[in-house]
Amino acid sequence: MNAREFLLILRHRLLQSLELGLLSFSFIFTIFAFWLLNFISQLKQFYSIFTQYFPLSIGIIKFLVWLVIFHLMKKGVSKIAEFRRIRKSYIFDSNNWQKEWIFNGQSYALSDPSRIVIYSSRAGCLLEKYVWKDFIMNFEMKFLENSPQRNMGIIFRAKDLENYFMLEIFLRGNENQIYIKPHVRSQGAWEFIQETFVGNFDLLQFQKVRLRVDNIRVYFYISGNKVFEWYLPTHLDINHIEAGVQGTSEETTSKGIIPKIDFRNRYGMIGFRAYPGQGAECKKLNIKSIKNSFGR
């Protein structure tokens, strides 16, 4: 890890703590302001002085303060709801597939409680019930022999089926040549990153794979070997967006509009994705959260 990465991780940690602190302070301060306005409105002498400098009536100001309080409460409730979804560990059970996951396409669970088939799921399959930020995801996978294409994506830090990071694993050629291609999905559009050859692995047979997401770094393992590492981008490269961005790439670039990835450092869902005609079978999926650390 270089100095720049260290400073970025440190900055992210400080901003997270600052965000929670500001949310709490803003709520307390707003409640105090409302109380103060109510107190001033009951003192006629001070009220007359107050209205000279603030022509708006106390009632209107109190209403505006109530709107701020409502906004802060709504944001706080959202944070609490997210906190309740944070999970330390998870083991896949096909009996709970319909309750815990959202998905489209033709993915399905098998009679073996530990096995699931990801097939022709264009947007993806997400474990909706829980969220993670830094975690280790272990499972065994093999490509479907009868599928036209041998590809599957692993999703993480997903806001929903339209916004997430993904590593696509695919087989090319007849010599077990495995490639990894990182993706960013934002508002339904795709940005593809350069594919990388990671080695020769027989993924027509079950192989153990591991995804480790730690702060802004992603590590991917096949059969115990670390084969890929990804430094999560902060913004989208609009020149690589497949669809969904208004205007041409030249127009958007000239205006300086480079979309920020707002879910980069957030808790999110995990899952899988396979384009129509692609698929894989997975089993023994388990996820464990990890404590934040500077690097691997």
The secondary structure element, H or E, covering residue 54 is none
Residue 254 has pLDDT above 50, yes or no: no
In angstroms, rounded to a whole number, what is the distance separating the alpha carbons of residues 14 and 103? 35
In angstroms, rounded to a whole number, what is the distance separating the alpha carbons of residues 167 and 147? 19
Instruction: Give the confidence band of 59 by pLDDT, cuts at 50, 70, 90.
Output: low
As a whole number, mean pLDDT of residues 91-105 equals 90
Q: What confidence tens digit (pLDDT) does each residue in 255-282 have?
A: 455 788 989 988 999 999 998 889 999 9
Residue 179 has pLDDT above 60, yes or no: yes
Radius of gyration over every alpha carbon of the chain, rounded to an integer in angstroms: 24
Q: What confidence tens digit (pLDDT) does each residue in 186-237 have?
A: 888 888 888 999 999 999 999 999 999 998 999 999 999 999 999 999 888 7
CA 294, chain centre distance (Å) = 20
Token pair 């209403």 is at which residue?
63
In angstroms, rounded to a whole number, what is the distance separating the alpha carbons of residues 136 and 90? 11
Residue 105 has pLDDT above 60, yes or no: yes
Q: What is the DSSP letter of 238?
A: G
Please tell us whether the domain made up of 89-289 is placed in CATH 3.40.50.1220. no
Contact 171/197 with Cβ under 8 angstroms? no
Q: What is the DSSP letter of 240?
A: G
Q: List Cα–Cα distances, 150 to 106, 147, 204, 277, in angstroms.
A: 16, 7, 9, 8
The secondary structure element, H or E, covering residue 66 is helix 58-85
Contact 141/221 with Cβ under 8 angstroms? no
Q: What confidence tens digit (pLDDT) does each residue in 149-170 have?
A: 899 999 999 999 999 999 999 9
211 vs 39 pLDDT, higher one: 211
Contacts of 206 by beta carbon, 8 Å cutoff, 6+ apart = 140, 141, 142, 283
